[in-house]
């Protein structure tokens, strides 16, 4: 098999491949050296939900879809010109045995249907380990300071503890390797067990300077992971975008339809790839408050099934309820703080599909040839005289959006969603208002996160949005109006795929650093500015928003009080 050329001949194009493994699909893109996406492909991946709060996938299914999408985007392209490939994925947990075969993360003591064993991935949104996460938080170990003081069930230590306590004789005994999904992909591509600092630091409590903390793993009952110098969870780490191993192995190259030795960049969590795809754009001439200011004045908001809010700083800034600060987890030498909302796109889908008028909405959208969100946006416009009046239609309808708990800034997995202001109406008008109130609740949650980060010392002046929800014009405008900040949308709307390609470019040595690759490959598409007429409305709506949580806790306390 041919090896990847170290130099591309003059006149030949240079391409990079970005592969994004999201919650429900794998996407791949062929990207030019100046950041233009030439081809994309997408394929769905299987999700199993064996019981409430349990979500599982198959690493074999995921890798298969990575291969088929990469082959599709390189069809008709001279793969000699593909200089590097980068992977990003959700922060899901993968279990493999000593021979690197899948180990099931479900109960296997009984006779189960064919194919169950391959369900070896505990998904990021799986909350089976909520009780374990609470116990880890209660130990108050020093590493928790780096995750906002509270261990989330979406991180890997509680998931590992759940596996040990519930599948001790099966998964826990058989598994020789636990990977974060992004690291599984780079291992599958290169054969290297080196992990990315992005995953280890953000989801596993690893320290770039000190490595693993023995006292933490002993304190939470996972001291067996310390055996053989932590061989089950990672002995080596490198910065995102660093070249992994010797590039693609012969087997992986054959699977992907590429050339052996093609550079592979150390992987990223999917949201962080989105951050790379938007945060480095040149803003000169756009009259933005972040112009002539450091990158630390920018917040990347990656909004899809869930949302992630990322900002960097030159010094560590500790924010209660916000993950981090993580050194070099996204940009080398800078500290990353990461807020988030566990359900955003998923929440919108839940609210819409649960309404009696949803079928009518689908039929209307189908007749008009629009997406249901676009159809609802148009319907809201018909209900109001102008844009400012449109957003004020929800003056008496308020939502607390924690239908899947609160990730940031409260870090309260017991928080639940609430809707105040419902009537007996089940019309399309009613559904449109509920949709608008949900958009506003998500945006108010972003404001809540920004307020917490500013209080800790972050200087956030501009939002950079990407992800599926950023294609919804009303979602974007609502975020600008709610936060009072300008919102930048990238020229290349598939910013997560672009970010994955950025690390491929960095690994290829065509760029000297991630920062250089970001500047070269990302550009501003459009700026959405806040409507000053709505400042008073959203100031009052935000006050109501905060009270909804306070009232929920008051109600919980009343119900938990002993009967007199």
Chain segment 17-67, per-residue pLDDT in tens = 999 999 999 999 999 999 999 999 999 999 999 999 999 999 999 999 999
pLDDT of residue 110: 43
pLDDT of residue 353: 97
Q: Which of 228, 240, 160, 244 is nearest to 202 (CA)?
A: 240
Task: Summarize the confidence of residues 103-108 as an average pLDDT.
Answer: 84
Task: Summarize the confidence of residues 449-457 as an average pLDDT.
Answer: 98
> Tokens 């050339």 map to which residue?
259
Residue 231 pLDDT greater than 90, yes or no: yes
User: In this predicted structure, which of 18-32, 110-124, 243-257 has the lowest mean pLDDT?
Assistant: 110-124
Chain segment 547-561, per-residue pLDDT in tens = 999 999 999 999 998
Residue 564 pLDDT greater than 90, yes or no: no
pLDDT band at 117 (very low <50, low <70, confident <90, very high): low
Each residue of 436-467: b (16+ CB within 10 Å) or e?
bbbbbbbbbbbbbbbebbeebebebebbbbbb
User: In this predicted structure, which of 94-108, 160-174, 203-217, 361-375 has the lowest mean pLDDT?
Assistant: 94-108
Pull the structure tokens for residue 219: 């304190």
Task: Summarize the confidence of residues 84-94 as an average pLDDT.
Answer: 98
CB–CB of 229/214 below 8 Å?
A: no
pLDDT band at 1 (very low <50, low <70, confident <90, very high): very low
Task: Summarize the confidence of residues 68-77 as an average pLDDT.
Answer: 97
pLDDT band at 2 (very low <50, low <70, confident <90, very high): low
pLDDT of residue 218: 98
pLDDT band at 109 (very low <50, low <70, confident <90, very high): very low
- Residues 6 or more apart whose Cβ sits within 8 Å of residue 283: 290, 291, 462, 488, 524
Residue 6 pLDDT greater than 70, yes or no: no
Task: Summarize the confidence of residues 343-370 as an average pLDDT.
Answer: 96
Task: Name the average pLDDT for the chain.
Answer: 94
pLDDT band at 12 (very low <50, low <70, confident <90, very high): confident
Beta strands at 15-21 and 82-89: parallel, antiparallel or unpaired: parallel
Residue 111 pLDDT greater than 50, yes or no: no
Q: Which helix (H) or strand (E) holds 515?
A: helix 514-521
> What residue ranges define each of the domains in the chain, with the CATH number in brackets?
15-268 (3.30.420.40)
Residue 246 pLDDT greater than 50, yes or no: yes
Q: Over pLDDT 90: what percentage of the chain?
A: 92
pLDDT of residue 4: 53
Chain segment 261-283, per-residue pLDDT in tens = 999 999 999 999 999 999 999 99
């Amino acid at each position: 098999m041919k090896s990847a050329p170290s130099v591309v001949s003059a006149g030949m194009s240079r391409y990079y491949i970005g592969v994004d493994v999201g919650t429900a699909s794998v996407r791949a893109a062929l990207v030019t050296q100046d950041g233009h996406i030439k081809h994309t492909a997408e394929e769905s991946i299987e999700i199993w939900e064996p019981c409430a709060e349990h979500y599982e996938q198959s690493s074999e299914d995921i890798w298969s879809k990575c291969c088929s999408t990469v082959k599709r985007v390189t069809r008709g392209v001279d793969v000699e010109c593909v200089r590097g490939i980068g992977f990003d994925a959700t922060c899901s947990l993968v279990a493999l045995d000593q021979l690197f075969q899948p180990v099931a993360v479900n109960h296997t003591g009984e006779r189960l249907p064919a194919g169950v064993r391959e369900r070896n991935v505990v998904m990021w949104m799986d909350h089976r380990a909520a009780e374990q996460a609470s116990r880890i938080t209660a130990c108050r170990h020093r590493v928790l300071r780096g995750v906002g003081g509270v261990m989330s069930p979406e991180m890997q230590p509680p998931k590992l503890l759940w596996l040990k306590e519930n599948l001790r004789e099966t998964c826990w005994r058989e598994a020789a390797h636990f990977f974060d999904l992004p690291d599984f992909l780079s291992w599958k591509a290169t054969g290297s067990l080196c992990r990315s600092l992005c995953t280890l630091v953000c989801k596993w409590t690893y320290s770039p300077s000190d490595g693993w903390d023995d006292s933490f793993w002993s304190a939470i009952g996972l001291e067996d992971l310390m055996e053989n110098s932590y061989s089950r969870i990672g002995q080596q780490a490198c910065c995102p975008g660093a070249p992994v191993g010797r590039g693609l192995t012969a087997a992986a190259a054959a699977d992907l339809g590429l050339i052996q030795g093609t550079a592979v960049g150390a992987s990223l969590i999917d949201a962080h790839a989105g951050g790379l795809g938007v945060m480095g754009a040149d803003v000169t001439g756009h009259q933005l408050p972040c112009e002539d200011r450091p990158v630390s004045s920018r917040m990347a908001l990656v909004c899809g099934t869930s949302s992630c809010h990322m900002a960097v700083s030159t010094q560590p800034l500790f924010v209660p309820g916000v993950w981090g600060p993580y050194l070099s987890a996204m940009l080398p030498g800078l500290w990353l703080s990461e807020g988030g909302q566990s359900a955003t796109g998923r929440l919108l889908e839940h609210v819409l599909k649960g309404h009696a008028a949803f079928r009518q909405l689908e039929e209307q959208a189908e007749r008009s040839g629009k997406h249901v969100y676009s159809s609802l946006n148009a319907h809201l416009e018909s209900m109001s005289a102008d844009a400012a009046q449109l957003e004020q239609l929800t003056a008496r309808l308020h939502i607390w959006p924690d239908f899947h708990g609160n990730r940031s800034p409260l870090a309260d997995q017991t928080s639940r969603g609430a809707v105040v202001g419902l009537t007996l109406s089940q019309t399309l008008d009613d559904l449109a208002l509920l949709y608008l109130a949900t958009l506003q609740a998500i945006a108010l949650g972003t404001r809540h996160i920004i307020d917490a980060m500013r209080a800790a010392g972050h200087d956030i002046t501009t939002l950079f949005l990407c992800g599926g929800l950023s294609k919804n014009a009303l979602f974007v405008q609502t975020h600008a109006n709610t936060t009072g900040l300008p919102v930048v949308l990238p020229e290349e709307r598939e910013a997560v795929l672009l970010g994955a390609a950025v690390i491929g470019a960095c690994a290829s040595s065509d760029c000297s650093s991630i920062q250089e690759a970001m500047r070269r490959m990302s550009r501003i598409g459009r700026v959405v500015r806040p409507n000053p007429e709505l400042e008073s409305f959203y100031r009052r709506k935000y006050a109501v928003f905060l009270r909804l949580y306070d009232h929920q806790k008051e109600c919980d306390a009343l119900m938990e009080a002993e009967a007199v």
